[in-house]
Amino acid sequence: MASVSPGPCPSTGCPPPTEIDCIVVDKVYDSCTQTITTTQTFLAPTTGCTVTSCAINLATSTCTVGAITPTGTPNYNNVTFVISANYTVTCSSGVTLPETVVTTQTVTLYNPTGTTPSCAILSGACTCVNLPNGDISCTVTLCLLLQTTATVQLLVPTYGFCAPPVCASVGPVVPCPPSPLFPPQAG
């Protein structure tokens, strides 16, 4: 990725911005990360299963808002997230067992009217063992990003548009871009 000018300000400070723009962005009002661990025990298939590995499927796992309850402090709510983690257990025979563990996590977040709580599963791991009674016990650990956001208009000082540098080419050189990339801004 090419660097963006003017970059970090020198010790003498940055020059004043050339423009003040209004941009639409998703502003984060509150966020935190949390590691949760849950254990699930289930019956091994009738053919038996000596566990060799376990893997989380982050693409199909979900984390959604389950409930929002007031804390008694204005604009702060207890937000309960419902986490459904899909994982597979692989047996020494080659059989793969799909499993899902569902759990909840409640955190207190700054959640004023107009903001939306959300959750993302950033990473995860699981381990499984065979129990003496033939059951399989799996421990699933997940790293969650919990936050509240709102789409807002921000007034920001800027130095204008980012002008990408010319890419190195192997063919004939053509003026690129042939004209300004963005429409002119009002004075």
Cα Rg for the chain, rounded, in angstroms? 25
Q: Out of 17-21, 55-59, 90-94, 175-179, which region has the weakest mean confidence (pLDDT)? A: 175-179
Domain range summary for the chain, segments of one domain joined by +: 19-158
DSSP character string of the chain: ----SS-SPPTT-PPPPSEEEEEEEEEEEEEEEEEEEEEEEEEPPTT---EEEEEEEEEEEEEEEEEEEE-SSTTEEEEEEEEEEEEEEEETTS-EEEEEEEEEEEEEEE--TT-EEEEEEEEEEEEEEE-TTSEEEEEEEEEEEEEEEEEEEEEEEE-S---PPPPP-SS----SSSS-SSPPPP-
- pLDDT (mean) for 105-130: 96
The tens digit of pLDDT for each residue in 167-185 reads: 766 666 556 556 666 677 6
Query: Model pTM?
Result: 0.76
How many C-alpha atoms does 156 have within 13 Å on its Cβ side? 11
- pLDDT at residue 84 in the model: 97
- pLDDT at residue 187 in the model: 57
Pick the residue with more confidence: 31 or 1?
31
The tens digit of pLDDT for each residue in 126-159 reads: 999 999 998 999 999 999 999 999 999 999 888 7
C-alpha dist (Å) from residue 11 to 14, 15, 68: 8, 12, 46
91 neighbors 50 (Cβ within 8 angstroms): yes
